[in-house]
Amino acid sequence: MKQKLFYQDSYRQTLNTMVVDQAKDDFGRWYVLLDKTVFYPTGGGQPHDSGLIKDVRVIDVEEIGGEIRHYIAEPTLEVGEAVDIHIDWTRRFDFMQQHAGQHILTASFVELFGFQTISFHLGKELITIDLDIKAISDEQLNATEKRANQIIMENRLIETKWITKDQLSDYPLRKQVAVEEDIRLVIIPEFDYNGCGGTHPTSTGQIGLLKILSSEKQQGKVRVHFACGGRVLEQLNRKHKILQEVTSLLSAPEEGVVKAMKVLMENGKKTEKMLNDSNELVIAYELKELIGENKIERQSIERVFQQRSIQDLQKLARLIVVEETKCKVIFIAENDGLLQVVLARGNENQENMKELAAKILPLINGKGGGSKSFAQGGGSTDMSGDELLKIIHEI
């Protein structure tokens, strides 16, 4: 316990200490043991510290069998060597803010609604708690966020205490403590009493702010995403930038953005409907043009189109073969370097369209398929639609 200086002072960033051992673990990873350390090892839901031993980067810190192992890439330190160590303070303080914020959020859910936290995840980007409930309302989330921020703004003390198992009953603990000895309590007096081995700021005000970002149902529980301290400012900056871009794109003030967006979407739908209607008209005209007013029982109709959707051509081809039952249709569309082919035949024509497609498509590095009566496909080629049509005639 004496070697873990982060428990005596969670703000200590540097230390002059000594390399006690340098060894490889069972997975071949090099680590260093120090006489004393300020590096917090992964544990209690809080990720490890990063930083330097002399000029050697510490890439992982684990506590195994009572040893705090500082993992390094190469064994470049010497046993017995005196070294200056320092932790990456931005990373550590961020974890302290998030971890203390989690205690407060969890305690607020219990205080207001009796909702228990069953797990907690603290990562470099995300922080979440899982609540032992099936659903949660916006009102409950808002009330809890408000309560948590009240505790933060009252700038209450956050104390730590080492106690024995026998002393446990003196404290109104939120949940049972998992360890038997070296029991550490993190206490916000009159609010939260909690067994925890993590690092925390000394007062709640240093958490700054807590914002609940979202909640989601997950296998019979509710996951709550939130952010504390510096992460709230990051979130605000990111969201503010997006909002500014949107307000400028829509030429609308912030409070009018939703309305402007709805109008835009409505207009989009109307335009799409108009486009579809005119498309239907175009197809109806094309049908007339291709089969003529008077049926003359054509054997085949072929045409090359530019920039037409394959869906339009499929529709047109189907309409033709319903009218012209002996006819075969070959449509080719030139679409941005792609050649797309639609093949169809009426029910009095015996030619196999699937087989025809299988002959045509390899010529344009294409893929596709279909049935005996209808097939389609496409590929990229330098060939023009007319050139392909010429080759099809020679097949």
Q: Quick one: tokens of 189?
A: 């007096």
Q: How many other CB atoms are found less than 10 A from the CB of residue 353?
A: 23
Nearer to Zn ion, 38 or 127 (CB): 127
Of 17 and 106, which has the nearer Cβ to Zn ion? Answer: 106
To Zn ion, the closest distance from the beta carbon of 230 in angstroms equals: 19
295: helix, strand or coil: coil
Cα–Cα dist 331/357, whole Å = 12
SS3 of 301, please? strand
Supply the minimum distance, in Å, between the C-beta of residue 244 and Zn ion: 37
| Residue reference for tokens 């730590």 | 160
User: In this complex, which beta carbon is closest to Zn ion, that of residue 148 or of residue 196?
Assistant: 196
> Over the range 255-288, which residues count as b (16 or more CB within 10 Å of their CB) and which as e?
eeeeebeeeeeeeeeeeeeeeeeeeeeeeeebbe
Nearer to Zn ion, 105 or 375 (CB): 105
Instruction: Give me the sheet containing 127-131, strands edge to edge.
Output: 117-122, 127-131, 221-228, 210-218
Q: Which of 196, 224, 341, 375 binds Zn ion (CB under 5 A)?
A: 196
CB of 213 to Zn ion, least distance (A): 20
Closest approach of Zn ion to the CB of residue 273, in Å: 56
**Closest distance between Zn ion and the C-beta of residue 96, in Å?**
11
Shortest Cβ distance from residue 103 to Zn ion (Å)?
Answer: 6
How far apart are CB 177 and Zn ion at their closest, in Å?
11
Q: Which part of the chain contacts Zn ion (CB under 5 A), choosing from 191-199, 211-219, 259-267, 350-358?
A: 191-199
Q: CB of residue 38 vs Zn ion: minimum separation in angstroms?
A: 19
Amino acid at 335: N
- CB nearer to Zn ion: pick between 175 and 241: 175
| 198 counts as binding Zn ion under rule CB under 5 A | yes
8 A C-beta contact, residue 210 and residue 226: yes
Nearer to Zn ion, 228 or 291 (CB): 228
User: Residues touching Zn ion: how many (CB under 5 A)?
Assistant: 2
Residue that the structure tokens 């070294």 belong to: 83
Binding to Zn ion, residues 41-80 (CB under 5 A): none
Candidate ranges 31-39, 59-67, 173-181, 192-200; the one touching Zn ion (CB under 5 A): 192-200
Q: Cβ closer to Zn ion: 196 or 301?
A: 196
The residue whose Cβ lies closest to Zn ion is: 196
- Which residue, 293, 350, 351, 291, is CA-closest to 322? 291
Helix intervals (H) in the chain: 5-8, 89-113, 138-153, 230-250, 257-291, 310-323, 353-360, 385-394
Q: Using CB under 5 A, which of the segments 10-18, 34-42, 198-206, 283-291 binds Zn ion? A: 198-206
Q: Which residues bind Zn ion (CB under 5 A)?
A: 196, 198
